[in-house]
Amino acid sequence: MHPISRALSLVLGLTSAVGTFAGCGGGAAPGALGSELNGTWQTPCFDNRGFNFARTTLAYDDLALTGTYEEFEDAACTRATHVSHWTGVGVVSGTTTGGDSKLDLSFMTFTSTALTAANADFNNMNAYCGITDWAAGAERDVLGASCYGFSIPVGGESLDIYRVDGDTLRFGDGSMIGLDLQESARPTMLSATQVFTRQ
């Protein structure tokens, strides 16, 4: 699996997070469903299984989601080589027996951009997302494309769970992105490893 796809599947599958954009503190009335998600959330810089380093940022504004997944060549996450963005809109559809909130996310857009010539060349060599004319700085629409085992289909959705605890946010373990998902696809446990911190 391409390193970009590997990490996105870990983070999108965030994350409705899928859960896995620019942040703003939304204007939902206190206590409104999902209002605790308003703002910007970010993972620490993490080692993407030895391929590179990455960080995910999620921004919610009254359940409108913007996600950013950045890849870096350095462990401090300062020299970005590739970035992906996705947008969607969520609905809080209830709570689990364990008290976590259910989040149903509908994806709207998914784009990907090589930020360096070397990354563009690598993507072209591997026909990443079926594209062979990547160019540094050129954003590509990859909604519906198969990106080495990862895809957000047109009309894609995710059924997830989440919990906000102070300034930390966690989503379900193993959430999926697909079409016409059934309730049985929703995770039953929170991820023990993926933690977002309020920025």
pLDDT along the chain (199 residues), means of 10: 47 40 37 90 92 95 97 96 97 95 97 98 96 98 92 96 97 94 96 95
pLDDT at position 49, please?
81
Q: What is residue 48's predicted lDDT score, i.e. its pLDDT?
A: 86
DSSP the chain: --HHHHHHHHHH---TTTT--------PPTT-TTGGG-EEEEPPPEE-TTS-EEEEEEEEETTEEEEEEEEESSTTS-SEEEEEEEEEEEEEEEE-TTSPEEEEEEEEEEEEEE-SHHHHHHHHHTTGGG-S---TT-EEE-TT--BTTB---TT-EEEEEEEEETTEEEEBTT--EESS--GGGS-SSB-SS--EEE-
